[in-house]
Amino acid sequence: MSEGFSAQHPPLRIPAGPRDRGPDPRTLRTRAAVAEAARTLFLRNGYQGTGVDEIAALAQVSKRSIYNNFGDKESLFTELVLGFTGTAGQFAEQLVAGLTEAEDLPQELHALGRRHLATVARPEVLRLRRLIILEASRFPALADEYYRRAPGRVIAALTEAFALLHVRGALRAPNPRRAAEHFSYLVLGSTLDTFLFAPEGELPGPEELDTIADDGVSAFLAAYRA
């Protein structure tokens, strides 16, 4: 019996403790309430304009609960920002899905441009981008990480697709990274700039957004169409 146990005395089985039952539902509810309150206040008032007292009041929890669950305001802000990037990779893949095999590339690019702008031109997304830009000097590493995980992933996906299309002869894009940047900014740029300088302004409606996207894609094709 090399492990020191006999047939008459099998190893002891330790009963499952509380940690084996999964997260405490009360803790999950508290974290969700705090995250929702923090998201609302940070996007509305900015980082400096939001206090832990206000977050606790809106979430209807104690300040102690916030510190126990998130550490401090900086950690909560970081978790909030990076939480928005959770589905960015999947979005980037879906955005360019089928692009390299498209039989009608201009039509597919117009559809891609419309999807891209419609996804970005949402108040919550635009407010988050503006907030990160405003706080980039205070949180430079966080701003870099957000860009890498979200806009950067889209640019990377477009770069890969445009490189394959160039090899296939469907696009004239010897510098696919530059082409990806041009495509993205032609489609998104005017809407992002308008919201950055006039965050309380009214966003264009769906039809106007489609027109903006189509005009951007047409300009892109004028430069890059094979």
> Which domains, ranges and CATH numbers included, belong to the chain?
18-83 (1.10.10.60), 88-224 (1.10.357.10)
| pLDDT score for 198 | 87
Angle at CA 73, nearest 5°, toward 69 and 78? Answer: 85
Question: Which pLDDT value is given to residue 12?
Answer: 45
pLDDT per residue as tens digits for the range 157-201: 999 999 999 999 999 999 999 999 999 999 999 999 999 888 888
Closest CA to 158 of 176, 131, 136, 142: 176
Q: Which pLDDT does position 14 carry in this prediction?
A: 45
Position 222 scores a pLDDT of 97
DSSP string, 130-160: HHHHHTTTTSHHHHHHHHHHTHHHHHHHHHH
- Looking at residue 1, its pLDDT comes to 42
Stretches in the chain below the pLDDT threshold 50: 1-10, 12, 14-15, 17
The answer to whether residues 76 and 66 touch, using CB atoms and an 8 Å cutoff, is yes
pLDDT for the residue 28 = 86
Q: Residue 21 has what pLDDT?
A: 56
